[in-house]
Structure 1
Amino acid sequence: MLNISNNKVSEFIDLTKYKSGKDIFTKEYNKGFKKFLLIFTVILILILFLPWTQNISSQGNVTTLKPNQRPQTLQSQIPGRVEEWFVQEGNFVKKGDTILRISEVKSEYFDERLAERTDNQITAKSSSVTAYKNKVNALQSQINALQQERRLKLEQAKNKVKQTLLKVVSDSIDLEALKINADIANKQYLRTIQLQEDGLKAVKDVEEKRSKYQEVNAKLISQQNKLLSTRQDAINSELAIATLGATYADKIAKAQSSLYTAQSGGLDIEAQVSKLETNLANYKKRNSLLFITAPQAGFINKTIKAGLGETFKEGEPLVSIMPADYELAVEMYVKPIDLPLIHVGEEVRVQFDGWPAIVFSGWPNVSYGTYGAKIVAIENFISNNGKYRVLLKPDSNMVAWPTAIRVGSGAKTIALLENVPIWFELWRQINSFPPNFYQPTAKKTDSKDKKKA
């Protein structure tokens, strides 16, 4: 019916009494759909209470666990020119294998016999050092001889002074004796004159006494002159000691000056020899630097300075090498807000680029194609990209990582946190809240033990 009129027939007639009315008005529509909605609602509510593992997803890349296992470039410590390559890209080299030969570009090192000539200079200078040492020894012997001679001469001069002093004493005694004799002779002369005047002595006796008196006076004057001469000799002997000391002091000073000059010259030559030996060692070391060798076993990745005759400065990279023995690791970057949730030793799931995987981030146990890892290091300072770098190593208790992984390939990481209900995780995501802050079980136990202590 079109129900055009406001008067409804159903108010006056019971349509359910008729067959068509029974089929239309007594039948329930969408009964299966209602059951489906009810079952779906119950399942959805149950799902909301299922456990969900909170996690921190991040992008990373494959690296090595130790720094010396990562790709490196080889540089030359000296400037030079490429002369000959002994390898090509992709070759495997052992530790110590020669990779490249270079040549000098500085004019002071062009001489191929530079080390040999320097060695000859060292030999000549060493001979000069020996000669200076011999000269020093000779001068030292000369000084010792002069000192010995001075000691003997001084002893001799002192003995002479003692002799002259004793002679002065002897002459003084003789002078006093002559004075007494002169006095006696004078008294005898005067007595003889008196006796001659008295007629008791002859003139001859007076003359004899006068002669004797004059003789004694002459001896007295001679003895006085001798005493003065002896005293002068004593003074001269003492003066000779001072002169002798000054003379030998001058000779010894000159010899010591020559000795010091020889020692200074010898030390200067020794310094030159030491400098030449240093130069020789540097030349030999520089010659060994003309061959670039592999620091460890690995593969040649790329030759950077490839052209023959191409020059380079010291420190410029020449070739890139990848070590053969390495332990794989993954570095990931986390936001500062998530950093307090990351701890050393915690588990992380890793998905490598190029390996198929089915990932359920909240249910790591049902994921396929991910590999286990553990956190071994957390960067203490933020990186240039505004995140903190975290280093992961393979979990030995899990499936081993694929052997075909190359260093530098990409990886996705999922750091596993607490288990929470799904409804809580949905509520957290809707409100943009961070994951729950927590501490690992081991750290909680340690903190409780510390509090008890």
Structure 2
Amino acid sequence: MNFKSQQLLKKNPSFKKVCLWILVTTIIIFVLLTLIPWQQTIDGNGEVTTVSPSDREQRITAPMEGRLGKWYVVEGQKVKKGDPIVEILDLDPDVLSRLEEEKKAIELGISSVELAIKNAENNIDRHDRLKKTGASTQRIYEEAQLELVKYSTDLAKAKVDLAKIKVKIARQDSRLVKAPIDGTIVERRHGEGGITVNPTEFLANIVPDGKSRIVALWVRGMDAPLVSVGDKVMLQFEGWPAVQFSGWPEVAVGTFEGEVSFVSPQTNPVGEVKIFVKPENKRDWPNAELLRLGTKTNGWVLLKNVTLGYELWRRFNGFPININSKELLVNKNTSN
């Protein structure tokens, strides 16, 4: 009697065939892992920025205490350097006229003291001549000299007071806050209506126009020694659809190429190192109107080519990224 299960067993491949199939498959996989290349990378994240702090977003603050007057700009408005932003009025509306009157009084006092000094000098010369003829005494001559010293001291003090009052008047003239650079006004804090502000209080932000962009990436401190100036970097900007294959950058879609231009010599509090990435000439980055300052960015620093099998083995064992042993050698001549 033949059972159905027996018939199925007879139809199944033999144990030898199964082992042979597994062996061939293993050999093929091993060969593929040996031949397929893999680009080692170091990943990092950061944002779009500029090298010079003067080209980054800047805060516009109140130069002094006062009331907000007329605003000359709105959010999103483009301005040129020196264009008026907002007027700050003094809490005392008559302060400027009083300062001008005080300035005039000090200037009149200076003129009077200068005239008194001239008369004192003439008086000293006269008593000097009279002393030689016996018509004056040494005491009167010395009193005339002391009088000249007093007037000279008064003149110096008056000039200091005049300088101070001029500074106060200049501050009144500088109450019109102006744009420090060419750019676009963003995040205007207050509206009109006599709002009181304190010195250095935030009023608005201005983003510069037409400045070159770079990317600041943060990489792990343990990976920083592997990064060098001139290394190629693949970048993915937030808002740009992209498909990035870490080991095969040549098949990536939607990424942009860059080059490491600077590696920071210090780490941040969490042990990360900052690197700057500049554009490469092969493909331009998006223009400044699309690639705004502060755009979040992911980056992959391209290192050496290894086989896929080695990379899997390295990661499984937790070994560091493959680098040339010569790069780790310390110059003995320098140390000696």
TM-score normalised to structure 2 length: 0.86
Instruction: Spell out the pairing of 1:145-184 with structure 2 (5 A cutoff).
Output: 145-150=129-134
Aligned to 2:191: 306
In 1, the alpha carbon distance for the partners of 2:151 and 2:12 equals 128
**How far off is 1:440 after superposition?**
9.8
Aligned to 2:88: 102
Aligned to 1:409: 295
Residues 242-300 of structure 1: CA deviation (Å, up to 9, x unaligned):
xxxxx96xx22222223222x22222222233223212321232122211100111101
The yes-or-no answer on 1:117 pairing with 2:79 is no
Contact 1:143 1:256 in 2 (8 A): no
SS class of match (1:381): strand
In 1, the alpha carbon distance for the partners of 2:98 and 2:325 equals 67
Contact 2:114 2:155 in 1 (8 A): no
Aligned to 1:429: 315
Structure 2 portions without partners, runs of 5+: none
SS class of match (1:331): strand
Which of 31, 48, 53 lines up with 1:67 in the alignment?
53
Superposed CA RMSD: 3.1
The yes-or-no answer on 1:141 pairing with 2:125 is yes
**How far off is 1:431 after superposition?**
1.5
CA spacing shift, 1:40–1:307, aligned 2, 3 Å = farther
Aligned to 2:44: 58
**How far off is 1:148 after superposition?**
2.3
Which of 112, 115, 119 lines up with 1:131 in the alignment?
115
Aligned to 1:161: none
AA matched with 2:95 = D
Contact 1:353 1:411 in 2 (8 A): yes
Contact 2:236 2:297 in 1 (8 A): yes
AA matched with 2:103 = D
Q: Which has the higher helix share?
A: 1
Which of 261, 270, 278 lines up with 1:393 in the alignment?
278
The yes-or-no answer on 1:290 pairing with 2:175 is yes
**How far off is 1:51 after superposition?**
2.3
In 1, the alpha carbon distance for the partners of 2:12 and 2:159 equals 117
Contact 2:72 2:85 in 1 (8 A): yes
In 1, the alpha carbon distance for the partners of 2:229 and 2:183 equals 31
The yes-or-no answer on 1:336 pairing with 2:224 is no
CA spacing shift, 1:383–1:271, aligned 2, 3 Å = same
**How far off is 1:44 after superposition?**
4.8
Decide which structure has the larger Cα Rg and report it.
Answer: 1
SS class of match (2:43): strand
CA spacing shift, 1:319–1:364, aligned 2, 3 Å = same
Contact 2:214 2:279 in 1 (8 A): yes
In 1, the alpha carbon distance for the partners of 2:64 and 2:320 equals 54
**How far off is 1:47 after superposition?**
3.1
CA spacing shift, 1:81–1:438, aligned 2, 3 Å = farther
Size of the alignment, in residue pairs? 326
In 2, the alpha carbon distance for the partners of 1:122 and 1:28 equals 115
In 2, the alpha carbon distance for the partners of 1:57 and 1:268 equals 70
**How far off is 1:354 after superposition?**
1.5
Which of 357, 362, 366 lines up with 2:247 in the alignment?
362
